């Protein structure tokens, strides 16, 4: 493990009073390098490439094998080269393929879900054969460790896409909008039916269905819920009735008595044209008696024995008899009848005082009876809601949509069944979304369960394009599921891991700043507002959802694996998830970030996002191993260290997104420490060494920018304190300090090889001794080469001043040349580098700054 420390025994403190540096004696690591397929001047043939790059001096090599067939076609050449060189190897799969896409085959400049699933299934299948044969052959004794795949290669979606690029899939790989009998049966059989999760459906109603799928809520209520649920339809009609009554009252405001009566007559008459039942209701009302009858001072018919004597007028029907030619019973002639009443045209009535009293009593009664006709009789509608809305629209010129919009804000009751329960339309809509049996009953009250499934199928078919969009999947649909993923029944198993990802990446980080309640996402300072206002919040949401898709690939989606006809490996076939197959054959992965662009970031690129996804996979794998076995084992394969998925940090790839890579790593360390302190999930984090288990590999290079490639696999130059400081802090946080599995410090080489492997070894020796970055200074090195301690000797080698006093003095000058100016110079802050896209847009020429590098 150590490079030079064992050869410096003479420099160790030998007196009892002298303390050796405490350091990190528990470091467990190996230094290596990649095979460098992506840089020039390297042999194309795999065996030659391995041999050529072994000259860099690494003890382990990351071999870049992109085509799964290579494991079979070039198997013997790889075995021979690696065995003769005495190397262990890890692997790097296809760099342009990730696991965070929601599109089926291809979308947004990257491979889709099914493409990634098919490729990595073949990769794991062939690697299992390759690894198992190596294990079974006596002539091969090197080790094959983990695969380094990129977690995500597709760009983060915009908040609102214009259209879907392909069929959108859910976490389990099912087309998100398919819900016919076959699709439903398949989901139920695997207990992966997200639509059997009532908590999800309630949240999805607010995050997606209500706000993203339709332009107006009333479209949802009219076209979908009312169509399939009679109870919802009654509640919605009651809400529309209340809204119509409000507009009815507004239309009468500030009007004289005569004008009010005229408006009421016009509205009721207009409604009667659409609702022919109104006239029958009006006839019933006419028969209702006055509070006090009119006692005629001069009874009618006393002088004519052939006619019945009329002494009282008790209701409007009696008034109608007195009008003779006009008929109060006909709503379309009600205006003319009222006109005659106002003019006291009662031919049979002789007394003026009787006429006046009949007039006043009749007009008052007509006013009240018209109100009653409009408002209904208790819970009974006398005019249909559609008749009311049509009357308001045609006579008062009130737009129908205004009335329905007003209705969506009303509380209402099921007037046919249960008046005691008051519903908001959102509450009723929730119950429809989750299939509450009370809302899906026939007239006799019997449950009609198939109507609910038919409704979901119909809704999802109508919303197909919206549901396929990654923007809706990543920001509105899948978050609603992740926050409720632990909901469990026979059709939906329930999982902790998606909830862990959401809590870790979104709630823990943003819960104090925003009120993230997906059942009320539109509240002030709530979820919708956070998405609109904060790019970083959107990135964390997309990172969480992307990590969850990766979790789905590895722990939920089964593929057909097969081994047959191999000389050294037993036949094997069956349906396995990735993690089941990996556990069976001892294959692990180290996820890393793909390099990118500040202008177009990927779904999952932040170290803490990648680690959250890896931990979620491990949590599910450990739980499955304990409960039902994992790939034929009742425990995690010992070579996987309880973690089938780990993390590779590539500082250059992280820096390519326009950020300080160490700032992102600091966020990761803070996140892991918080998880360890919280200890509410089976995440297996050591509070003292939070990175020990999860950070397996460091792709060591000097980050920077090249004008042609866009990135620079820079060498670890002598005296490079940036890389030293990063390595020291990582070790301090637990990297390389896992006794169960060696970590790797892997030079991902570029065209500038220099002494990176040597420098990595020197650096790790220095860190093992605990030499703090502030103490790594050529001033602390004597110029005569007579060193008093291992620390001093290693610092001399680190700066390359261990052979020449001139070099030593020059190194000191370089390191401290600007010390006299400390505090005297001010440098203007800048927002972009001169070789970035932003620089070009500001008319800066990158050729003027050829030597620029990341600082």
Helix (H, G, I), strand (E, B) or coil at 787: coil
| pLDDT: which is higher, 9 or 755 | 755
* CA atoms of 594 and 605, how far apart (whole Å): 7
Domain 24-156+537-768 classified CATH 3.20.20.150? yes
| pLDDT above 60 (res 498) | yes
pLDDT of residue 446: 60
- The pLDDT of 321-326, averaged and rounded, is 77
Q: Please, what is the end-to-end C-alpha distance for the chain in angstroms? A: 30
Whether the per-residue pLDDT at 41 is higher than 60: the answer is no
CA dihedral 302, 334, 272, 280 (to 10 degrees): 0
Residue 787: pLDDT above 70? yes
- Give tens-digit pLDDT for 180-206: 999 999 999 999 999 999 999 999 999
Select the highest-mean-pLDDT range: 380-394, 454-468, 784-798, 814-828.
454-468
Q: Which of 508-517, 598-607, 742-751 has the lowest mean pLDDT?
A: 742-751
For residue 331, the model assigns a pLDDT of 86
pTM of the model: 0.86
The mean pLDDT of 219-248, rounded to a whole number, is 91
| Angle separating helix axes 334-342 and 316-323, nearest 10 degrees | 80
pLDDT at 550 over 80: yes
DSSP secondary structure of 363-406:
HHHHHHHHHHHHH-BTTB-SS-HHHHHHHHHHHS---HHHHHHH
854 and 658 Cβ atoms separated by less than 8 Å? no
CA distance 457 to 464: 10
Checking DSSP bridges between strand 418-424 and strand 411-414, what pairing results, if any? Answer: antiparallel
pLDDT tops 50 at residue 853: no
**How far is residue 5's CA from residue 115's CA, in Å, rounded to a whole number?**
49
Task: Please check whether residue 478 is in contact with residue 545, taking contact to mean a CB–CB distance below 8 angstroms.
Answer: yes
The 8 Å CB, 24+ separation contacts for 575-580 are 576/631, 578/120, 578/121, 578/124, 578/553, 578/554, 579/554, 579/555, 579/617, 579/620, 579/621, 579/624, 579/630, 579/631, 579/644, 579/645, 580/624, 580/630, 580/631
The average pLDDT across 562-572 equals 95
Say yes or no to pLDDT of 417 above 50.
yes
Least confident stretch, 218-222, 376-380, 721-725? 376-380
- Quote the CA–CA distance of 547 and 149 in Å, as a whole number: 14
> CA-CA distance, 643 to 697, in Å (whole number)?
14
Give the residue with greater pLDDT, 106 vs 602: 602
E-state strands within 480-605: 558-563, 572-577, 589-591
Bridge partners of residue 380, in order along the sequence: 377
Residue 234 has pLDDT above 70, yes or no: yes
Q: Kindly tell me if the per-residue pLDDT of 707 is higher than 50.
A: no
User: With 90 as the cut, is the pLDDT of residue 578 above it?
Assistant: yes
Question: In this structure, are residues 488 and 494 in contact, taking their beta carbons and an 8 Å threshold?
Answer: yes
| Tokens found for residue 576 | 């396995």
Q: With 90 as the cut, is the pLDDT of residue 811 above it?
A: no
Q: Is the pLDDT of residue 773 over 60?
A: yes
Say whether pLDDT at 39 is over 50.
no
Helix (H) or strand (E) holding 29: strand 29-34
Round to whole Å and give the CA distance between 671 and 500.
12
- Reported confidence tier of residue 7, pLDDT bands at 50, 70, 90: low
The phi and psi torsions of 332 (rounded to 5 degrees) equal -75, -10
Query: Per-residue pLDDT tens for 551-566?
Result: 999 999 999 999 999 9
For residue 529, the model assigns a pLDDT of 96
pLDDT tens-digit map of 378-400: 657 889 899 999 999 999 999 98
Residue % of the chain over a pLDDT of 90? 57
Instruction: Provide mean pLDDT across the span 148-154.
Output: 95
Where in the chain are the domains? Answer: 24-156+537-768, 256-403
Closest CA to 26 of 773, 767, 792: 767
At 649, give phi and psi (nearest 5°). -95, 130
Average pLDDT over residues 421-435: 94
In DSSP terms, 29 is beta-bridged to: 743
Residue 102 has pLDDT above 70, yes or no: yes
- How far, in whole angstroms, is CA 362 from its chain's centroid? 66
Average pLDDT over residues 623-635: 91
Which letter does DSSP use for residue 684 in this model?
-
Question: Residue 330 above 70 pLDDT?
Answer: yes
Residue 682 and residue 619 in contact, taking contact as beta carbons nearer than 8 Å: yes
Ranking 95-104, 420-429, 482-491, 794-803 by mean pLDDT, the lowest is 794-803
Mean pLDDT of the chain: 87
- Asked if pLDDT for residue 771 goes beyond 80, the answer is yes
State pLDDT tens for residues 285-309. 888 888 888 888 888 876 767 777 8
157 pLDDT band, cuts 50/70/90, is: very high
Contacts of 648 (CB under 8 A, 6+ apart): 148, 590, 591, 592, 696, 697, 698, 699
pLDDT of residue 705 exceeding 60, the answer is: no
> What is the mean predicted confidence (pLDDT) over 49-72?
82
Alpha-carbon distance of 700 to 714, in angstroms, equals 9
- pLDDT tier at 757, thresholds 50, 70, 90: confident
Q: How far apart are CA 201 and CA 334, in angstroms?
A: 51
Has residue 8 got a pLDDT over 70? no
Torsion of the alpha carbons at 414, 418, 423 and 426, rounded to the nearest 10: -60
């Amino acid at each position: 493990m150590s490079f030079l420390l064992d050869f410096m025994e003479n420099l160790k403190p030998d007196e009892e009073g002298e303390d050796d540096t405490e350091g990190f004696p528990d470091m467990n690591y190996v230094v290596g390098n990649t095979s460098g397929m992506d840089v020039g001047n390297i042999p194309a043939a795999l065996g030659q490439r391995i041999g050529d790059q072994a000259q860099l001096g690494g003890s382990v090599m990351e071999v870049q094998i992109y085509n799964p067939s290579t494991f079979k076609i070039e198997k013997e050449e790889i075995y021979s080269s690696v065995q003769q060189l005495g190397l262990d190897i890890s692997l790097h799969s296809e760099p342009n393929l990730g696991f965070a896409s929601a599109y089926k085959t291809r979308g947004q400049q990257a491979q889709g879900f099914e493409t990634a699933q098919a490729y990595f299934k073949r990769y794991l299948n062939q690697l299992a054969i390759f690894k198992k044969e190596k294990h079974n052959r006596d002539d091969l004794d090197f080790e094959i460790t983990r695969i380094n795949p990129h977690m995500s290669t597709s760009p983060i979606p915009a908040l609102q896409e214009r259209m879907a690029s392909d069929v959108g899939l859910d976490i389990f790989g099912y087309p998100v909008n398919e819900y016919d009998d076959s699709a439903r049966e398949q989901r139920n059989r695997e207990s992966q039916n997200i639509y059997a999760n009532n908590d999800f459906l309630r949240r999805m109603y607010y995050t997606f269905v209500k706000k993203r799928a339709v332009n107006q809520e009333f479209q949802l209520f009219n076209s979908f819920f009312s169509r399939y649920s009679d109870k919802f339809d009654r509640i919605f009609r009651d809400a529309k009735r209340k809204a119509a009554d409000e507009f009815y009252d507004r239309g009468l405001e500030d009007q004289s008595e005569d004008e009010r009566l005229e408006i009421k007559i016009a509205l009721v008459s207009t409604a009667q044209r659409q609702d022919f039942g109104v006239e029958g209701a009006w006839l019933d009302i006419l028969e209702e008696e006055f509070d006090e009858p009119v006692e005629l001072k001069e009874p009618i018919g006393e002088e004519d024995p052939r006619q019945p004597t009329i002494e009282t007028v008790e209701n409007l029907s009696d008034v109608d008899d007195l009008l003779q030619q006009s008929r109060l019973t006909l709503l379309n002639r009600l205006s003319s009848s009222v006109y005659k009443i106002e003019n006291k045209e009662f031919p049979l009535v002789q007394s003026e005082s009787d006429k006046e009293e009949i007039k006043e009593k009749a007009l008052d009664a007509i006013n009240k009876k018209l109100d009653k006709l409009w408002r209904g009789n208790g819970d009974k509608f006398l005019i249909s809601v559609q008749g009311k809305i049509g009357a308001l629209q045609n006579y008062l010129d009130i737009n129908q949509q205004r009335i329905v919009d007003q209705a969506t804000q009303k509380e209402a009751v099921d007037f046919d069944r249960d008046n005691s329960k008051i519903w908001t339309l959102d509450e009723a809509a929730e119950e429809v979304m989750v299939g509450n049996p009370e809302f899906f009953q026939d007239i006799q009250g019997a449950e009609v369960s198939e109507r609910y499934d038919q409704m979901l199928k119909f809704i999802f078919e109508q919303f197909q394009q919206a549901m396929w969009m990654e923007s809706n999947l990543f920001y509105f649909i899948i978050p609603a599921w992740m926050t409720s993923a632990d909901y469990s029944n026979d059709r939906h198993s329930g999982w902790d891991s998606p909830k862990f990802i959401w809590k870790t990446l979104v709630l823990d980080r943003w819960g104090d700043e925003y009120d993230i309640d997906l059942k009320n996402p539109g509240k002030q300072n709530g979820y919708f507002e956070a998405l609109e206002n904060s790019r970083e919040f959107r990135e964390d949401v997309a990172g969480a959802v992307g990590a969850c898709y990766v979790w789905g690939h590895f722990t939920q989606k089964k593929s057909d694996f097969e081994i047959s006809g191999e000389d050294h490996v037993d036949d094997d076939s069956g349906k396995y998830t990735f993690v089941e197959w990996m556990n069976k054959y001892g294959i692990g992965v180290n996820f890393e970030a793909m390099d990118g662009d500040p202008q177009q970031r990927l779904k999952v690129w932040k170290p803490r996002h990648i680690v959250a996804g890896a931990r979620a996979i491990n949590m599910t794998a450990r739980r499955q191993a304990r409960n039902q076995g994992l790939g034929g084992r009742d425990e995690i394969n010992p070579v996987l260290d309880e973690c089938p998925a780990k993390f590779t940090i590539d500082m250059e790839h992280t820096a390519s997104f326009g950020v300080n890579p160490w700032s992102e790593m600091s966020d990761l360390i803070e996140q892991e420490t918080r998880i360890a302190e919280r200890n509410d999930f089976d995440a297996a984090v050591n509070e003292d060494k939070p990175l020990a288990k999860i950070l397996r590999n460091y792709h060591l290079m000097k980050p920077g920018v090249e004008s042609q490639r866009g990135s620079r696999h820079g060498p670890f130059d002598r005296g490079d304190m940036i890389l030293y400081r990063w390595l020291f802090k990582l070790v301090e946080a637990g990297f390389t300090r896992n006794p169960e599995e060696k970590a790797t410090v892997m030079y991902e080489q570029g065209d500038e090889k220099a002494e990176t492997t040597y420098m990595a070894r020197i650096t790790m020796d220095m860190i093992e001794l605990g030499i703090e970055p502030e103490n790594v200074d050529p001033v602390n090195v004597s110029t005569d080469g007579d060193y008093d301690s291992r620390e001093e000797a290693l610092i001399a080698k680190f700066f390359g001043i261990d052979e020449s006093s001139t070099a030593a003095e020059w190194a000191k000058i370089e390191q401290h040349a600007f010390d006299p100016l400390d505090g005297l110079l001010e440098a203007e802050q800048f927002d972009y580098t001169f070789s970035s896209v932003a620089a070009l847009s500001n008319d800066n020429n990158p050729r003027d700054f050829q030597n620029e590098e990341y600082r």
